[in-house]
Amino acid sequence: MSGAPASRAEFVCIACPMGCPLNIVVGSAGNVSVSGNRCPRGETYGQEELLSPRRIVTAVVPTDSADFPCAPVRTDVPLARALVPELLRDLYGRTVSLPVRVGQVLVQDFHGTRVMFTRTLPPDDVSPVGEAGAEPEGQDEVALL
């Protein structure tokens, strides 16, 4: 039997808290064999990580506010790892106007994923820097024993 030699890879599985050491072998016929996993999720993770790795992307987007210069965002589903730099260039090239709300969509469709804000800015319960507001009680008190 002739063909390309088998290739091998080793990962630590992150599909569950067990952190199994995975050994992945791609045979000459293109078949993928995963070993070392202690649960079925490890086999799926190993195959996907080798053949088509995907990542949830978290980032910050510049805002037009001096008090809140960045707004945190994330993708709603994992994105192909090869597309992450393109998405980050897009996000870092934007400037958003406040206010924004957690869950509000910034990018509706970037290769099948949405990018959403993960924090409400400005927060309803926080006064911007330099603006008068109620001080929390006991904030400046220090107990001396």
Domain boundaries for CATH 3.10.530.10 within the chain: 58-117
Q: What is the β-pairing status of strands 79-80 and 54-55?
A: antiparallel
Q: Which of 90, 103, 98, 104 is nearest to 59 (CA)?
A: 90
* pLDDT tens by residue, 11-68: 899 999 999 999 999 888 888 999 999 999 999 999 999 889 999 999 999 999 999 9
**CB 99, CB 121: distance < 8 Å:** yes
**Pick among 2.20.25, 3.30.1140, 3.10.310, 2.60.40: CATH of 7-51:** 2.20.25
Domain boundaries for CATH 2.20.25 within the chain: 7-51
* pLDDT tens by residue, 102-140: 999 999 999 999 999 999 998 755 555 555 554 555 555
Residue with tokens 């016929």: 29
H runs (alpha helix) in 36-145:
40-51, 84-92
Q: Which of 8, 16, 17 is nearest to 50 (CA)?
A: 8
Spelled out in words, what is the top-level CATH class assigned to the domain 58-117?
A: alpha beta
Query: Residue type for 97, please?
Result: S
Residue with tokens 């507001």: 133
